[in-house]
Structure 1
Amino acid sequence: MVIREPGFMGSIIWSDEAQFKLNGTVNRHNCVYWGEENPHITIEKAINLPGINVWCGLSSRGLIGPFRFEGTVTGINYLTMLADSIFPAIRALYGNDDFYFQQDGAPPHYHRDVRAYLDQNLSGQWIGRRGPIEFPARSPDLTPLDFFLWGTVKDEVYKRKPRNLDILWNEIQAVCREISLDVLIRCTESVVTRTQNCIDAAGHQFEQY
């Protein structure tokens, strides 16, 4: 697809959800640290703290959102958000220009009504589980939201030590507004290189500078 359509990567709207907790902890479960000895470090953190589930889209034209879910993300409330918030925002940004909408294989995204909605509104132009362009299962974290956006936003939001959910949400929106378009463009342009590095490493870990 990239070879057949040179502008393909720049036309993708990458999307994902993330959870922000009031404890100010950035989830780095995919990080691996090498050392000569096992430090046997125990990280203590509170559980069941209040938080916010947030959706955001990232493209070479700007961010779409962030949008806030009320409660757990389900197929039904994701579909409602697509129709009421996400797609109107995309249309405002893209007008009549073509774009491809990407989502991963999370259960809410795979909901039958969600896929039907995307088929109806984006015939042949969405990327996801059982979509016209398949999103690979258990793929490495190579989308711009995974390798850049969520970590950047959480790092900055938690520096500000929000005291309640309303302040937390305001800070999330503020940090997203501070990200420049130039940074977003560089992120989208780096996806091909990152993907090729992963292919060259046969799926093993590699250094990314």
Structure 2
Amino acid sequence: MGFNCRIPRVKPLLTKKQREKRLTWAKEKKSWTAAEWSKVMFSDESKFCISFGNRGPRVWRRTGEAQDPRCLKSSVKFPPSVMVWGAMSSAGVGPLCFLRSRVNAAVYQQVLEHFMLPAADLLYGDGDFKFQQDLAPAHSAKSTRAWFTDHGISVLNWPANSPDLSPIENLWGIVKRKMQNARPKNAEELKATIRATWALITPEQCQKLMDSMPCRINAVIEAKGAPTKY
């Protein structure tokens, strides 16, 4: 009948109010030009885990091969991992920050001070820019908002639960795919691998991702605020 069995994609659960806000945001930004988007610095945190195998969700095997080591996927309850903060614009990527503790408002402001500001100098020089971040509690805390005001940083308004609108989410995906054959043995080797892979990201790749912003916005409008394919 034309049906195929597939693993469902995972998307954030959106409330009716969140969908409405996404739609309103997309309509407001629909007229933005490439020049306007080039002035936005996108930021995000991502978790990287040490991989103990390269098996996907499915494996080809014959009858009787269920226990063959070649057909097994290893499972580790608590694999070593690191959390990373990064930023990008159409001009390229900024320096990475490896987060050592739970990110509260105070920790996040240290990240902004020591990594976001240098990234802004690298990517924009003396030019104006808008800073993008999601609505995590540390990001939207009163003291963090005061930090942005004190430093004269303009923050782009952002709808909740909207990773499909942020090109840096796709950049993390690119980095992780480039790392899929790497086999770091511990957290320090994992960090070194992430740094080396991040350094390979080109301004052209970033520009291509930034060029997708009009399509992302149109997709949100067509979906009436619901999750999109991005």
TM-score with structure 2 setting the length: 0.72
Distance 2:121 2:149 in 1: 16
Q: Which runs of 5+ in 2 are unaligned?
A: 1-27, 55-72
User: 1:53 touches 1:73 (CA, 8 Å); kept in 2?
Assistant: no
Q: CA deviation at 1:97?
A: 0.3
Q: Which residue of 2 aligns with 1:50?
A: 80
Distance 1:25 1:97 in 2: 45
User: 2:84 touches 2:99 (CA, 8 Å); kept in 1?
Assistant: yes
User: 2:87 touches 2:119 (CA, 8 Å); kept in 1?
Assistant: no
Q: CA deviation at 1:79?
A: 0.7
- For the pair 1:194 / 2:194, whether they are aligned, the reply is no
Per-residue displacement from partner, 1:153-172 (whole Å, max 9, x unpaired)?
11222321111111111111
Distance 1:185 1:45 in 2: 37
Superposition map of 1:7-156 within 5 A: 7-23=35-51, 45-123=75-153, 125-127=154-156, 134-146=157-169, 148-156=170-178
SS in 2 for 1:23: coil
Q: CA deviation at 1:82?
A: 0.8
Q: Which residue of 1 aligns with 2:13?
A: none
Per-residue displacement from partner, 1:90-140 (whole Å, max 9, x unpaired)?
1233221001100000112122221111122235x212xxxxxx2112225
Distance 1:25 1:11 in 2: 40
Distance 2:181 2:149 in 1: 41
Q: Which runs of 5+ in 1 are unaligned?
A: 27-42, 128-133
Q: Which has the higher strand share?
A: 1
Per-residue displacement from partner, 1:171-198 (whole Å, max 9, x unpaired)?
1111111111111101111111122122
User: 2:164 touches 2:228 (CA, 8 Å); kept in 1?
Assistant: no
User: 2:82 touches 2:98 (CA, 8 Å); kept in 1?
Assistant: yes
TM-score with structure 1 setting the length: 0.78
